Amino acid sequence: MDNQELTVVVEKALEEIRPFLISDGGNISLVSIEEDIVKVRLEGACVGCSINQMTLRNGVEASIKKHAPQIKKVIDISSVI
């Protein structure tokens, strides 16, 4: 799977999880895919949420890995300037 196809697959996975994030006042966007690591940016209420790392691992990462098992890790870069 080339990078363009992988991007489409990852975006599809994010679309599955996005309604849950939006219902809590947050959102997520894809920043980049480098090798087997997906970088995302949590937005809105997700940025300051005390359980955002649990959501990232158990929700976002699980959804992405279901669609793209070659992905090893999902990283939130919300706090990176």
Burial of 70 (0-12, 13-18, 19+ CB in 10 A): exposed
Residue 11 above 90 pLDDT?
Answer: yes
Residue 27: which of 76, 65, 64, 68 has the closest Cα?
76
Residue 38: which of 11, 2, 1, 20 has the closest Cα?
11
CA distance 7 to 12: 9
Confidence class of residue 80 from pLDDT cuts 50, 70 and 90? low
Residue 81 above 60 pLDDT?
Answer: no
Q: Are strands 37-44 and 73-76 parallel, antiparallel or unpaired?
A: parallel
Domains with residue ranges and CATH for the chain = 3-76 (3.30.300.130)
% of the chain with per-residue pLDDT over 70? 98
Q: What is the reported pLDDT for 47?
A: 84
Reported as a single tens digit per residue, the pLDDT across 23-40 is 989 999 999 999 899 999
Q: What mean pLDDT is predicted for residues 39-50?
A: 89
